[in-house]
Amino acid sequence: MNEQGTIFDQILAGKIPADVVYEDDFVLAFKDINPQAPIHVLFIPKVRIKTHNDIDEANMEYVNKIHLAINQYAKQIGEDKNGYRIVMNCNENGQQTVNHIHMHFLAGRQMEWPPG
Protein backbone atom coordinates (compact mmCIF):
# COMPACT_ATOMS: atom_id res chain seq x y z
CA MET A 1 0.00 0.00 0.00
CA ASN A 2 1.22 3.46 -0.89
CA GLU A 3 2.14 5.66 2.08
CA GLN A 4 1.77 8.79 -0.06
CA GLY A 5 -1.56 10.30 -0.99
CA THR A 6 -4.05 7.64 -1.98
CA ILE A 7 -6.51 7.54 -4.85
CA PHE A 8 -9.19 8.23 -2.24
CA ASP A 9 -7.35 11.40 -1.14
CA GLN A 10 -7.39 12.49 -4.78
CA ILE A 11 -11.12 11.72 -5.11
CA LEU A 12 -11.83 13.69 -1.91
CA ALA A 13 -9.79 16.62 -3.29
CA GLY A 14 -11.74 16.54 -6.55
CA LYS A 15 -8.65 15.66 -8.61
CA ILE A 16 -10.10 12.34 -9.79
CA PRO A 17 -13.77 12.00 -10.74
CA ALA A 18 -16.03 9.52 -8.99
CA ASP A 19 -19.65 8.50 -9.45
CA VAL A 20 -20.78 9.80 -6.05
CA VAL A 21 -23.98 8.33 -4.61
CA TYR A 22 -23.80 9.75 -1.07
CA GLU A 23 -21.99 12.57 0.71
CA ASP A 24 -22.16 14.31 4.06
CA ASP A 25 -19.64 16.10 6.30
CA PHE A 26 -18.00 12.83 7.36
CA VAL A 27 -18.50 10.33 4.53
CA LEU A 28 -18.19 10.07 0.75
CA ALA A 29 -19.64 7.09 -1.13
CA PHE A 30 -19.11 6.29 -4.80
CA LYS A 31 -19.53 3.40 -7.20
CA ASP A 32 -16.62 0.95 -7.39
CA ILE A 33 -14.85 1.05 -10.77
CA ASN A 34 -14.52 -2.75 -10.70
CA PRO A 35 -17.88 -3.89 -9.31
CA GLN A 36 -18.17 -7.35 -7.78
CA ALA A 37 -21.98 -7.20 -7.52
CA PRO A 38 -24.75 -5.38 -9.40
CA ILE A 39 -24.53 -2.68 -6.72
CA HIS A 40 -21.00 -2.09 -5.41
CA VAL A 41 -20.33 1.17 -3.60
CA LEU A 42 -17.31 2.25 -1.54
CA PHE A 43 -17.95 4.27 1.63
CA ILE A 44 -14.92 6.23 2.86
CA PRO A 45 -14.34 8.61 5.75
CA LYS A 46 -13.38 12.15 4.78
CA VAL A 47 -10.23 11.82 6.90
CA ARG A 48 -7.61 9.21 6.19
CA ILE A 49 -7.60 6.34 8.63
CA LYS A 50 -5.00 3.96 7.19
CA THR A 51 -6.28 0.57 8.32
CA HIS A 52 -8.89 -0.95 10.60
CA ASN A 53 -6.10 -1.22 13.18
CA ASP A 54 -5.88 2.60 13.24
CA ILE A 55 -9.47 3.14 14.36
CA ASP A 56 -9.51 4.70 17.82
CA GLU A 57 -11.60 6.95 20.05
CA ALA A 58 -10.37 10.07 18.21
CA ASN A 59 -11.65 8.96 14.78
CA MET A 60 -14.45 6.55 15.73
CA GLU A 61 -17.12 9.12 14.86
CA TYR A 62 -16.17 8.77 11.18
CA VAL A 63 -16.60 5.00 11.33
CA ASN A 64 -19.97 5.35 13.05
CA LYS A 65 -21.06 7.84 10.39
CA ILE A 66 -20.12 5.35 7.66
CA HIS A 67 -22.47 2.78 9.18
CA LEU A 68 -25.28 5.34 9.39
CA ALA A 69 -24.63 6.40 5.78
CA ILE A 70 -24.81 2.77 4.64
CA ASN A 71 -28.16 2.35 6.41
CA GLN A 72 -29.51 5.50 4.77
CA TYR A 73 -28.22 4.51 1.32
CA ALA A 74 -29.62 0.96 1.58
CA LYS A 75 -33.05 2.39 2.41
CA GLN A 76 -32.78 4.98 -0.37
CA ILE A 77 -32.15 2.33 -3.05
CA GLY A 78 -34.55 -0.23 -1.58
CA GLU A 79 -31.95 -2.84 -0.60
CA ASP A 80 -32.57 -2.57 3.15
CA LYS A 81 -35.24 -5.27 2.92
CA ASN A 82 -33.47 -7.54 0.41
CA GLY A 83 -30.18 -7.54 2.28
CA TYR A 84 -26.62 -6.63 1.43
CA ARG A 85 -23.04 -7.27 2.45
CA ILE A 86 -20.56 -4.79 3.89
CA VAL A 87 -16.86 -5.64 3.86
CA MET A 88 -13.74 -3.93 5.19
CA ASN A 89 -10.34 -5.40 4.35
CA CYS A 90 -7.27 -4.86 6.53
CA ASN A 91 -3.64 -4.97 5.43
CA GLU A 92 -2.00 -7.26 2.89
CA ASN A 93 -3.46 -10.64 3.83
CA GLY A 94 -6.89 -9.06 4.10
CA GLN A 95 -6.47 -7.73 0.53
CA GLN A 96 -6.56 -4.03 1.50
CA THR A 97 -5.22 -2.25 -1.58
CA VAL A 98 -5.80 1.40 -0.64
CA ASN A 99 -4.23 2.79 2.52
CA HIS A 100 -7.47 4.54 3.57
CA ILE A 101 -10.21 2.53 5.25
CA HIS A 102 -13.32 1.92 3.22
CA MET A 103 -16.36 -0.27 3.39
CA HIS A 104 -17.59 -2.14 0.36
CA PHE A 105 -21.39 -2.15 0.06
CA LEU A 106 -22.44 -5.10 -2.12
CA ALA A 107 -26.05 -5.72 -3.10
CA GLY A 108 -28.39 -6.60 -5.93
CA ARG A 109 -27.89 -10.37 -5.86
CA GLN A 110 -27.77 -13.32 -3.49
CA MET A 111 -24.38 -13.34 -1.77
CA GLU A 112 -22.48 -16.60 -1.31
CA TRP A 113 -20.49 -17.98 1.61
CA PRO A 114 -17.64 -18.41 2.15
CA PRO A 115 -16.62 -15.23 0.35
CA GLY A 116 -13.01 -16.24 -0.34
| CB atoms closer than 10 angstroms to residue 113 | 6
102 belongs to the catalytic site: yes
Provide φ and ψ at 114, rounded to 5°.
-75, 155
Cβ contacts of 29-37, under 8 Å, gap ≥ 24 = 29/69, 29/73, 29/105, 32/104, 36/104, 36/106, 37/85, 37/106, 37/107, 37/108, 37/109, 37/111
**92 phi/psi in degrees, rounded to 5:** -60, -50
The catalytic position among 52, 67, 100, 102 is 102
Q: Which residues are catalytic?
A: 102
